[in-house]
Amino acid sequence: MFHYLNHVRTFWAGLFRHDKRDMQKVDYVTVKALELRAPGTSTSDTMTLFRQLKNGEIFGAFNMDHRMEIWARLHAWEGLVPTLWTFFENFKYMEACAKCMKSLITVPSRGTLYTAMTRSFSESTQNRGKCIVQEAESVFTFRSSNTQNRVALHYRQVFLYVMRHLRELSPGSTKIEPKATERKIRTKDPSKSALYGLADLAERLGFKTAKISGLKVKYSNHADVQSQSKPLKPTFVVAGPGECLERRCACPFDLAYEQSKEFLFLDNMCSTNRSQGNSIQPVFVRKSVYLAYFGRQVFGDRDSESAASSPPAGDAQDPVQEDVDQDSVMQEQPNADETREDQVHGQAEIVEGQEGNNPQDTSELQAYVEQLGDTSYLFNSPPRSQIVQSI
């Protein structure tokens, strides 16, 4: 959660080089025009935004020279433009995924899902200095890694399994296509084979809990033979219309879910390859959401075993350190007379359960929201008091 909020602030503060006076000049129309666009990937979005910028429809409080400076930074942004509104919408999706993860472990009332999972990790079942990387449903490789990075990366891969099988694990979590000619009958109960697969992967990646063992025993007769025997590389862009703005956040629609799920593996989500096309594919949306919450970790060539980055200090944090990614484009130094307020410690961490019942989590998140200060309106968000109450 902290990572996504910092992701939002990184974009908007970086767009104006952390100049608060410039940030306060941005209006609601501009925020809505940029929201969920992919200016560095979709040529259609690029042309739309550039036309609006030249006509003064967006960033209207700035002169043309200043608007062109802003444009250079905007066009360099790799993912979807985030706001606090997209944070709340995408949280619905991540919350559905986290509930599925809860089938693997009991989360203490004052704990988080990530912390609980890290404590259940068993080093004795793993190869020292090695991290298991799932490249396809039935393809696994080893990469060099220290213990902290291994735990975090293994956790992410269990989470990616949930993203790939969300509809099977949580029926009704994907959206019905508005123009669907055939309405599929939706089951109410989670798929037994999907639950077994989730528990089996978690155990393989070193997590040991009573719930994991119980799922494997209960659904041992439902083990599904995985057919995906080689890694698939996604195409993130499309020459046609692609995903419209309404389909770029929150839980995916059925068709988007089907089109993207086979690509949701660690290497694809952390890929640094950038391509441009008329519009974006559903898998680009999933990748953008994943990176907004988890950040990027690049391993290098598949056949090489590059050492993982050293983790930063921190107790209840995802210790994987991000490599240079899209956020670095926006992370320019602020003006000398401005104070940079966007240094928030804490990596991607999906908080399980009722956060409002967790005093420590609530106070930390509330403090961060308060840091947004008078610029909170910039993110097209509810008032700060409403944000804090929703926590």
Q: What is the DSSP letter of 132?
A: E
- Confidence check: pLDDT of 224 > 70: yes
* Model pLDDT, residue 267: 95
Q: How far apart are CA 124 and CA 211, in angstroms?
A: 19
* Cβ proximity of 67 and 175 under 8 Å: no
User: pTM for the whole thing?
Assistant: 0.81
In the predicted model, what is the mean pLDDT of residues 221-238? 86
Q: How far is CA 90 from CA 93, 226, 237, 278, 304, in A?
A: 5, 29, 21, 24, 34
* Percent over 70 (pLDDT), the chain: 74
- Confidence check: pLDDT of 335 > 80: no
- Confidence check: pLDDT of 343 > 60: no
* Number of Cβ atoms within 10 Å of the Cβ of 325: 16
Domain spans in the chain, listed from the N-terminal domain onward: 2-82+340-390
* Axis-axis angle for helices 84-101, 147-164 (nearest 10): 90
Q: How far apart are CA 374 and CA 141, in angstroms?
A: 48
Q: How far apart are CA 380 and CA 200, in angstroms?
A: 42
At 273, is the pLDDT very low, low, confident or very high (cuts 50, 70, 90)?
confident
* Cβ proximity of 342 and 372 under 8 Å: no
For 178-221, write each residue's pLDDT tens digit.
Answer: 876 566 667 789 999 999 999 999 999 999 999 999 999 999 99
Judged by DSSP in three states, 37 sits in coil
For 62-88, write each residue's pLDDT tens digit.
Answer: 999 999 999 999 999 999 999 999 999
Q: How far apart are CA 217 and CA 195, in angstroms?
A: 11
